[in-house]
Amino acid sequence: MKDSFGRQIDYLRLSLTERCTLRCTYCRVDEGLCPKSEELSAEDLILLAEVCVELGIERIRLTGGEPLLRKDLLQIIRGIAALPGLKDLSMTTNAQMLAEMAGNLKEAGLKRLNISMDTFKPDLFKELTGGSLQKVLDGIQAAIAAGFDPIKVNVVLMRGVNDGEVDDFIALTAKHKIDVRFIEYMPIGSGNGSDKLRLNNQELIAARPWLKPLPPRLHGQPSSDYTFDGALGRVGFISPISHAFCSDCNRIRIMSDGSLRTCLGRDDEISLREALTNGKDALKQVIHQAILDKPRCHLFNQEVLEQRNMSRIGG
């Protein structure tokens, strides 16, 4: 379906949990999280996905937190993958548990993976996330072996932290059928120092004239994609601050507690819990109206979402 600005809304980010195995410096520091007891059941999550697909959603990405923490994850994937009309089911993960699960995820019906990895340096990775870089690398190899294609590696760039590794990440796309996407640091959370840490993606592109632009793989994708001679994968730049993509936004987000968010860069959300108890027709009505009310643009340039860290935006 379309919102009031004529944008085709066909993409759902569905958060399965706010729990995570990592504590990334730009995502969740000193914040309270939705407790496990408040997470929706597998049945409710599948029902929400079903209603959204019937409303015109064609692509669903499972997010967190860390979705691999859900003990019923394979049940959720199987249920959603079986929905008539769904064209794509993907997941974002920090890959700390991926190596042992990649094959089962693929078998259950998951089609694509986005993996978060902000540095090739083990010590820096530990400092930024509290996790193991080797587990990420093992997870990527397991995902390749399981047949995921393409695999996307998401890199949040931070000035003076990992900006010296840009060309190392780009080189990764020459050796493997992996897409690397550089994400601008966003002003979410209290006192995150985003202005000092943020790099302008447009400057990174301009400094590399050998990058050749590519048409997007998917409708409404936020990244501007590039390639270079000999590359097997793509290089993408996601620039919500320096090059806002609101006019092409095609997505909504549902949190693990049943809160619906129609814009990442605003603080508004709608609870779907009452509608969940009243059945599909009630859910359709609430979600349909929320899509019609979706705002024209985000407010990143006007305000800092002081009380909302990255883990509460739905991935």
Confidence category of residue 191, pLDDT binned at 50, 70, 90:
very low
Spatial neighbors of 164 by CB under 8 A, at least 6 apart, are none
Distance CA 106, CA 89 (A): 11
Confidence category of residue 194, pLDDT binned at 50, 70, 90:
low
pLDDT for position 268: 80
CB of 61 closer than 8 Å to CB of 114: yes
In the block, which residue shows the tokens 């379309």?
2
| CATH label, 11-312, candidates 3.30.1330.10, 3.20.20.70, 3.30.70.20, 3.40.140.10 | 3.20.20.70
Q: What is the mean predicted confidence (pLDDT) over 274-303?
A: 84
Tokens of 301: 């340039």
Percent of the chain at pLDDT > 90 equals 69
Mapped onto helix, strand or coil, the DSSP state of residue 93 is: strand
Round the average pLDDT of the chain to a whole number and report it. 88
223-227/212-213 β-pairing? antiparallel
Q: What ranges do the domains of the chain cover?
A: 11-312
pLDDT for position 86: 98
pLDDT for position 170: 97
Question: Is pLDDT larger for residue 12 or for residue 200?
Answer: 12
Residue 22 has pLDDT above 70, yes or no: yes
Distance CA 142, CA 216 (A): 26
Write the pLDDT tens digit of every residue in 57-104: 999 999 999 999 999 999 999 999 999 999 999 999 999 999 999 999
Residue 304 has pLDDT above 50, yes or no: no
Question: Is pLDDT larger for residue 227 or for residue 29?
Answer: 227
Confidence category of residue 310, pLDDT binned at 50, 70, 90:
low
Write the pLDDT tens digit of every residue in 133-176: 999 999 999 999 999 998 999 999 999 999 999 999 999 999 88
Query: What's the pTM?
Result: 0.89
Question: With b meaning 16 or more CB within 10 Å and e meaning fewer, what string describes 286-313?
Answer: bbeebbeebbebbebeeebbeebbbbbb
Q: By mean pLDDT, which of 103-112, 236-245, 301-310 is the weakest?
A: 301-310
Q: By mean pLDDT, which of 127-131, 180-184, 198-202, 224-228 is the weakest?
A: 198-202
Residue 108, CA distances (Å) to 13, 41, 63, 71, 75 in order: 19, 18, 16, 14, 8
Q: What is the mean predicted confidence (pLDDT) over 251-274?
A: 90
